[in-house]
Copies of this chain bind each other. A is one copy, B any other.
């Protein structure tokens, strides 16, 4: 059936929904569902509502073949349970008898139910049962779902989600995103289903829920997919109980304007600055000064004239000139009053280190400061954070110690503990950092604001975020989509599992969405999801170091056959694939390796080889334009000691880089403890190298590839 055009169909469905609402219902009847399906061009079987037994017989006669008969009652949702469904009824006598049985069953099941009649419906063809639906996710709003129908898939939870609305391409991608995707392509000689028709059903459902935010749920279950089309056997529509609360939003320009003043301030006030060692207001002052911040630093403290050599002010309103950031280092109960002064002074950013707000159950106190901030147009970072660093500004507005390795990764964390882990890891591995930001309770500024800023920040090449929830999943996806084409975004979403989500609930009071929804939608947004804390940290450290791959052909070159096997496992585990080496390239590799070494892929140069064999094969790997990335497996021997391998590898990689040939090179070093120094040496020179693991170097390469794919760099 051809769908109605935009305006008409919205009007028609609006009228229907209003009528349902007027009756105080939230569940639509099947005939109401059919009206909606027809309006949106969602294919459903031919059907009529029979009010009595004669109508049933007459309608059944109009359809070619047997029919399905179903009770129609606004009070009976689970029709099968009520004995209200009969399938394959044929002939006038059977239709008559079925009508009576269904109505009797329904009366017995729910004596008070209003019975509108019996739906007489065309019997659907045999085909693959699938489910198409839409739900309202607490984080992401309207989301469409697709999966195979039947008990097995309900049990195996093989289902995929996308933000609604989806376009044709996104809808089609859902058919490939389930584990059992092969079934749709036809197995055991079955014909493949009509993918276009199926994708179209998904797209239209996504349009429907986008047009009507009050629709909480749509279920087409099952949709019968055949080689010739896709028809929904049943459509179920449920309305929401209430309307969602709109969230304050900012334009991209507004966000960038405030963020620039937060991350590149010229003047900072420290509210609660102190001369007393051990106080947070003292640590923050000390870190700002010792960190080398070159802008103005204005301590605010009603009881001091001078703090650490800087003139102190009784109130922030006394500070001369424009101030970009007010850092709060005072107890929670004093924050509201000070925030009003900050607002009056016209300071655009308040960094709230104090804890004692929503995370300790003080929701009202948090609501109060949010309301003060909104009134004055002040944006809030925190409360309940360790502060923030901006290394390229030498700006260390935290109570931790300054960090001095400037680099390309911006890290954010919702939790202070994770922030400390970020700091320690960065320091010990000398990770190059552009910023570390605590988000804490996220009363205002959250991941999407920071993502928008770091996306534009020229010092930031990669963004890594630890989060337990998203206040606004759509805003995050929008920011991620704008950022990913420029630089990788890594997310560690804590509370992945039921146990984790429960812990998250008690920690932040945030409603953790279903992880399957997060997983699909973050992937759809092009975000690299880290499976754990250490992976997030390693990705953050390594991604800015590795150049982007320009194609899928990965070659392993190894001195240890055993490492070659494990590296191959890791390649597959990370969704990468080993290049099929063409005969001429194979012959070229064979020139350098012993006759019993294995060419192919992995290229096994064997264990006893001198540095020249490593060098020649690595050179070949970088030189040949058909190869896009190298995974090196080094084996510690007397003939080629670790630092000799590290030096030659770094030298060759640098030489090619000067010639404009940049390929990602990662390495696993198997050997005695000298390999640790060799790995550090390599890492600093752009080769991502790890000792005692074959998994990590390949996992990092896999993360880089996932980004390159999302950014459209690989076709």
Contact = CB atoms under 8 A, between A and B. Distances in A.
Contact of A604 (B152, B507, B638): B507
Contact of A183 (B155, B182, B606, B670): B155
B278 A638 contact: yes
A420 interface: yes
A629 to B, nearest CB: 15
A693 B415 contact: no
Contact of A691 (B424, B492, B573): B424
A495 interface: yes
A671 interface: yes
A24 B500 CA distance: 61
A665 to B, nearest CB: 19
Contacts of A190: 151
A599 B566 CA distance: 43
B600 A566 contact: no
Contacts of A562: 413-418, 466, 468, 494, 507
Interface in A313-361: 355-356, 359-361
Contact of A154 (B188, B418, B498): B188
B671 A420 contact: yes
A517 B521 CA distance: 34
A636 interface: yes
A445 to B, nearest CB: 18
A566 B533 CA distance: 8
B564 A507 contact: yes
A572 to B, nearest CB: 4
A500 B568 contact: yes
A97 interface: no
A680 to B, nearest CB: 13
A633 interface: yes
Nearest to A578: B499
Interface in A147-164: 148, 150-156, 158
A625 to B, nearest CB: 23
B497 A417 contact: no
Contacts of A563: 415, 417-418, 421
Contacts of A596: 356, 359-362
A345 to B, nearest CB: 30
A675 interface: yes
Interface in A474-530: 492, 494-500, 502-504, 506-508
A522 B577 CA distance: 27
A239 interface: no
B187 A154 contact: yes
Given A504-B565, A565-B495, A694-B533, A673 B417 contact: no
A413 B562 CA distance: 9
B156 A179 contact: yes
Contacts of A692: 421, 424-425, 428, 533-534, 537
Contacts of A155: 179-180, 182-183, 187
Given A152-B153, A188-B151, A572 B500 contact: yes
B424 A673 contact: yes
- Copies of this chain in the oligomer: 2
Contacts of A694: 532-534
Contacts of A413: 562
Contacts of A424: 636, 670-676, 691-692
Interface in A549-584: 556, 558-573, 577-578
A183 B150 CA distance: 11
A239 to B, nearest CB: 26
A90 interface: no
A711 B315 CA distance: 68
A55 interface: no
Contact of A497 (B568, B608, B675): B568
A532 B414 contact: no
Contacts of A569: 494-497, 499-500, 532
A652 interface: no
A500 B565 contact: yes
Contacts of A696: 534
A543 to B, nearest CB: 17
A133 interface: no
A70 to B, nearest CB: 18
A73 interface: no
A414 B607 CA distance: 14
A598 interface: yes
B598 A565 contact: no
Contact of A670 (B179, B417, B556, B577): B417
13 contacts: A154-B188, A360-B594, A413-B562, A417-B561, A418-B562, A424-B670, A424-B672, A424-B676, A428-B691, A499-B569, A503-B565, A532-B693, A534-B695
Closest 7 A/B residue pairs (Cβ): A415-B562, A417-B560, A360-B596, A500-B569, A497-B572, A507-B561, A421-B670
Interface of A: 148, 150-156, 158, 179-180, 182-183, 187-188, 190, 278, 355-356, 359-362, 400-401, 413-418, 420-421, 423-425, 427-428, 466, 468, 492, 494-500, 502-504, 506-508, 531-534, 537, 556, 558-573, 577-578, 594-596, 598, 600, 602, 604, 606-608, 633, 635-636, 638, 670-676, 691-696
Given A401-B672, A503-B556, 18 more contacts: A415-B563, A416-B562, A416-B607, A417-B559, A417-B561, A417-B633, A417-B635, A418-B566, A424-B675, A424-B691, A428-B692, A497-B568, A500-B568, A506-B561, A507-B561, A507-B564, A531-B695, A532-B693
